[in-house]
Amino acid sequence: MSERLILTLAILGGTGKVGPGLAYRWASAGYHVIIGSRTPEKAERVAAEVNERLGRDVVRSMANEEAVQSCDIAVLTVPYEAHTSILEALKDHLQGKVLVDTTVPLVPPKEGQVQMPSAGSAAQEAQEILGDGVDVVAAFQNVSHIHLLEDRPVPCDVLVCGDSEEARKQALTLVAAAKLVGWDAGPLQNAVVVEGLTSILIGINQRYKVKAAGIRITGEPVENRADPE
C-alpha cells in the first residue's frame, strides 16, 4: 500500500459546508478520514452521513482535540468567525503537523467585498497564532462546497500557498486525491490574493446568477501542474 493510502486526515470543524465534501472525496481515494468538531454529536452525525454515501463505515468522528492527536495532516474548514478561537484551542496539539487552512475572511453582510485581516490573510493569521512549529498551507478557498459534493469532475482549480515547499507538495497531493487540479502558488503571503478571490467569485455569483463560480489556470506547461489521478 502506498504512503498516501495510509495517511490519516483530520477535518477540523468538518460539520459545516466544506468538510463533508472533502471527507467524501478523500475517503473515496483511500485516506483514513476523521470528522472533528467542538460538538462530538455533530461530528458523529456528519461522519454517518458521509459513510452512508460511501456505502461503507470508514469515516470516523471525534472531538477536535482527539482528531488532531490522531491525524497525520489536519485540515481546517471553519467559518472565519470561529478561526481564531479554534486555532488558539488547538495550538499545542497541532505542533509538528501540517495544517491545510481553507478559511476565507468573509465578513457578512458584505461577503462579496474583499476584507482581509491585519495579518494579511486568514492563513497568515493562522501561522502567527500557531507559530513556527506548524506548517500552514492555504488551499481550497476558491472551490464551492457544491462542487465538492458532486460525483463528477470539478470545473475549478485549486491554488496552494505555504512557506514550506514540502507542505505545499503534501497539500497538492490531497488536491489531486480529491480529483481537482492543483497549482503551487508560492509562499503563504500570496494567500491574500487567493482568499480575496473568493469574495470576488461570490460577487460574480450574485451579479450574474452563476452557480458556484470558480477559477481555471490557463497557458501553463502541463508538467508544472498537479493533475488529479
Task: Give per-residue pLDDT as tens, 3-39.
Answer: 444 699 999 999 999 999 999 999 999 999 999 999 9
Q: How far lies 2's CA from each of 41, 56, 89, 119, 185, in Å? A: 33, 21, 33, 38, 26
Q: What is the pTM of this model?
A: 0.93
Report residue 144 as a C-alpha cell: 464551492
Instruction: Please check whether the domain covering 3-224 is classified as CATH 3.50.50.60.
Output: no
pLDDT digits (tens, 9 = 90+) for 30-68: 999 999 999 999 999 999 999 999 999 999 999 999 999
Residue 177 burial class via C-beta count within 10 angstroms: exposed 0-12, middle 13-18, buried 19 and up: buried
